[in-house]
Structure 1
Amino acid sequence: MICVLIKYCLRLSDTYLSMARIFLLTKPFSLENQSDSDENHKAPNILRQVLSLLKNVRPGSDLSCLKLPPVFNMPKSQLQCYAESVYCTAVDMVSNFNRGKTAVDRLIAVVAWSISTTRPVRFGVAPYNPTLGETHHVSKGNLNILLEQVSHHPPVSALHATDDKENIEMIWCHFLVSKFTGTSVEGQVQGKRQLKLHNHGETYEMNSPNLLIRFLPVPGTDWVGNVSIRCLETGLVAELNYTSQSFFGFRSNGRQVKGKIFDALSKKILGKIEGHWDSTLTLKNTSDSEVRVIYDAKQVISRLQAPIVKDLENVWPTETGLVWGGLSQRILNKEWEKARQAKKIVEERQRELLRERESKGESWSPKHFKVSYSKEQGWDCSPIQRQVPNAPIITL
């Protein structure tokens, strides 16, 4: 995996962290490194290891808190995975929202952007479960993105992104639940995503497809399930269905997306969507049968680069590239014993902070979000600041 690696010394008063630290953010997933093409993680070797890891896990069990040895980790946090689906695109998807002359045009642009957040995933490895308070702060042009891990058990990630020039805002609150079925694992990305186009007074709410990891008969990964994208003000809705490969893993019917755009009030279907999220998707206008391409994955999620540090002094100690940098470097070097030690250091640091809070009778609260939970509404993450500031880390 190609990565950007910067070594430097970060002086902190805490003696536990007063050491040479490594900042590392790996290259994002793109069409050039699709899950089944990585020689380092191909079956059958990794498959045997995965099945061995899960041999004592009962079907139906929640794997969210399962502790993985470093050999099963990809060198990045789940926080980075969420973020790069927003800021890592080869073309500017965000500006397209405001270019739509009609509400239908803008919904189509939102649909295309939503599909662009679907990325290839490697089989047999998983990202790190972010530490409590871990952050990721990156700027791409005028779009500033900030994520914070607002809960550890359960693992809840919050995202806030703003573009002052386009007057656009994104707010996500994600809660990942992984269920083991015996022959597969399905990761359900619970929670909601909001996209606000302030120039048009429109708010779009949407969910995410689920990640299916198959072990038998053919190992592989797929995004599956139903996605709904709804504009609260116009009543326009897009419904998408992500379809997995066949039981035997044939590619021809895998990574398929079908759906429709309709008016929720009149129930009138305005367009039909069909294609594959890793190639192209088309929209057929029901009024005149015109068919046009609305999304091209090769243009959008190819040739992606890792973020780079522009302002070293203002990188927060909680930045994911710092929290996990030492471990990620060991994984990339395949230094598994050193990787285990590095992971143990991160975990023990979290336990130490918890003990300190408990001894002082203090409770932890997020720095950048107000968080609430109810059985009826689930998790809600509201950003404290109206706009996300420019980040010391940028991506082109």
Structure 2
Amino acid sequence: METEGDNKVRKVILTKPFSLEAEANNDYSAPNLLHRILSLFSHVRPGSDLSHFQCYGEEIYSTATDLLGKCNGGESPLARFINVVAWAISTTRPLVIGDTPYNPILGETHHVSRSSLHLLAEQVSHHPPVSALHATDEKENIEIIWCHQAIPKFHGTSVEVKVVGKRTLKLMKHGETYEMNFPNVSLRFLPFLRIDWVGNVSVRCKETGFVADLCYKSRSFLGFKANHRSVKGKILDSSSSKVLYDLDGHWDRTIAIKDKNNGRVQVIHNANEVISGLQAPIVKNLKSVWPTESAAVWSEVSEALMRGEWDKASEAKKRVEETQRELLKERESRGQTWTPKHFTLSRTEEGSWECFPLQQWVPPAPIIAL
């Protein structure tokens, strides 16, 4: 899609969200979060990734069911907490090894609406690379704030990417705030190349005291599939340290909890229902799309990749990067420091970053998720 603006043509290329079917069909490669930080694949060639900065938002707005509405509609604090745990697991999406030509530029944004939910992500820092996200639903009185930085550690035959930051979900209708961290990424080269989400994730509600401790596991060194994409954990009441539920399953299949009192088992997450059959967003108002929109910044790269024109995609990528280098030189020559447009950014005592949205509510977007 194209629109005339500021004396130049702007193209907006939106691709289908990464889902279980896309993985099975090998339509896409890994989401840009991993490859942006590792810079393992810097060249554009056949098999290149079509996913990029918009992956951050897709984890929230690209779902086949209304998981946030289910969180808000829980009849009790414990029911809502269980639904939030299921939602947190649903944001885990498949990773497939491949090349990615995208490297989010400073100030790149992704602004999308789905019904009354409006989402805005911004690349708030380039060195170090830090991404911020703000999503609000004024009708449902829901707010989401994410801020993360990925830090790679190389271990000879493997790389572990520690995703540092915090995810916050506020159900303001109930006066409840849920905080959670991110799983890490493990990339192993031997005995064969594979990639998985790994590590410990904690979900906590300040007001109710409920806590979920989750452990993401990958295949063993020899590649046995027993633990592949598995999630194990427990839900407990922190005030008494009493375990209420055991949690077990696979994030790309189903997750179930078992009541410690009566042994009843309940499936709380079904990946096939949540991240299957996803559709690409559509542009509702071309003239309102910001020049910083990810789908506009990388439109020529995406368009070339979709046609299989790898050399043209590489050339388009270089043009984007050269423009950014020129803008940096201009700022430095004027003694200017770049600041985020939609967030403020601060460093925590632990060394990670916190992002604070400048607006209370995210405005409706010209791009609509289906």
| Same fold per superposition (TM over 0.5) | yes
Secondary structure at 1:190 match in 2 = strand
Superposition pairs for residues 98-247 of structure 1, below 5 Å? 98-126=72-100, 128-247=102-221
Deviations 1:283-321 (A, max 9, x none): 101111110110111100000011110111100000000
Partner residue, 1:291: 265
Secondary structure at 1:223 match in 2 = strand
Partner residue, 1:26: 15
Q: Given residue 267 of structure 1, which amino acid in structure 2 is its aligned partner?
A: S
CA contact 1:29–1:121 (8 Å) conserved in 2 = no
Whole-Å separation in 2 of the counterparts to 1:41 and 1:165: 35
- The yes-or-no answer on 1:389 pairing with 2:338 is no
Whole-Å separation in 1 of the counterparts to 2:242 and 2:206: 17
Whole-Å separation in 1 of the counterparts to 2:158 and 2:308: 26
2:222 pairs, out of 225, 248, 254, with: 248
Whole-Å separation in 1 of the counterparts to 2:27 and 2:324: 34
Structure 1 residue ranges (4+ consecutive) displaced by more than 4 angstroms after TM superposition? 39-42, 62-67
Whole-Å separation in 1 of the counterparts to 2:97 and 2:5: 38
Whole-Å separation in 1 of the counterparts to 2:147 and 2:186: 21
Whole-Å separation in 2 of the counterparts to 1:325 and 1:33: 20
- The yes-or-no answer on 1:263 pairing with 2:237 is yes
Q: What is the Cα deviation at residue 150 of structure 1?
A: 0.3
Whole-Å separation in 2 of the counterparts to 1:199 and 1:377: 32
Whole-Å separation in 2 of the counterparts to 1:166 and 1:240: 28
Over the aligned positions, Cα root-mean-square deviation in angstroms equals 2.0
Partner residue, 2:33: none
Q: Given residue 6 of structure 2, which amino acid in structure 1 is its aligned partner?
A: L
Q: What is the Cα deviation at residue 102 of structure 1?
A: 1.6
Partner residue, 1:338: 312
Q: What is the Cα deviation at residue 97 of structure 1?
A: 1.2
Q: Given residue 319 of structure 1, which amino acid in structure 2 is its aligned partner?
A: E
Which consecutive unaligned segments of at least 5 residues does structure 1 have?
1-5, 43-61
TM-score normalised by the chain length of structure 1: 0.87
Partner residue, 1:38: 26
Go from structure 1 to structure 2 and tell me whether the alpha carbon gap of 1:271 and 1:41 turns closer, same or farther (over 3 Å shift).
closer
CA contact 2:343–2:355 (8 Å) conserved in 1 = yes
CA contact 2:44–2:100 (8 Å) conserved in 1 = no
Deviations 1:47-92 (A, max 9, x none): xxxxxxxxxxxxxxx9546671123851232x21111011100000
Whole-Å separation in 2 of the counterparts to 1:100 and 1:39: 36
Go from structure 1 to structure 2 and tell me whether the alpha carbon gap of 1:40 and 1:143 turns closer, same or farther (over 3 Å shift).
closer
Q: Given residue 90 of structure 1, which amino acid in structure 2 is its aligned partner?
A: A
CA contact 1:129–1:155 (8 Å) conserved in 2 = no
Go from structure 1 to structure 2 and tell me whether the alpha carbon gap of 1:138 and 1:315 turns closer, same or farther (over 3 Å shift).
same
Deviations 1:174-222 (A, max 9, x none): 1112233232222221100000010111111101111222222132221
- Count residues in correspondence: 364
1:301 pairs, out of 275, 284, 308, with: 275
CA contact 1:76–1:324 (8 Å) conserved in 2 = no
Deviations 1:360-395 (A, max 9, x none): 221111111011124435211000000001100011
TM-score normalised by the chain length of structure 2: 0.93
Secondary structure at 2:317 match in 1 = helix
CA contact 1:73–1:128 (8 Å) conserved in 2 = no
Secondary structure at 2:51 match in 1 = strand
- Between 1:196-205 and 1:212-221, the stretch displaced more is 212-221
Q: What is the Cα deviation at residue 39 of structure 1?
A: 8.0
CA contact 1:32–1:302 (8 Å) conserved in 2 = yes
Which consecutive unaligned segments of at least 5 residues does structure 2 have?
31-35
Go from structure 1 to structure 2 and tell me whether the alpha carbon gap of 1:175 and 1:265 turns closer, same or farther (over 3 Å shift).
same
- Between 1:229-238 and 1:366-375, the stretch displaced more is 366-375
Whole-Å separation in 2 of the counterparts to 1:346 and 1:264: 49
- The yes-or-no answer on 1:324 pairing with 2:266 is no
Go from structure 1 to structure 2 and tell me whether the alpha carbon gap of 1:377 and 1:182 turns closer, same or farther (over 3 Å shift).
closer
Percentage of matched positions with identical amino acids: 55
Q: Given residue 17 of structure 2, which amino acid in structure 1 is its aligned partner?
A: P
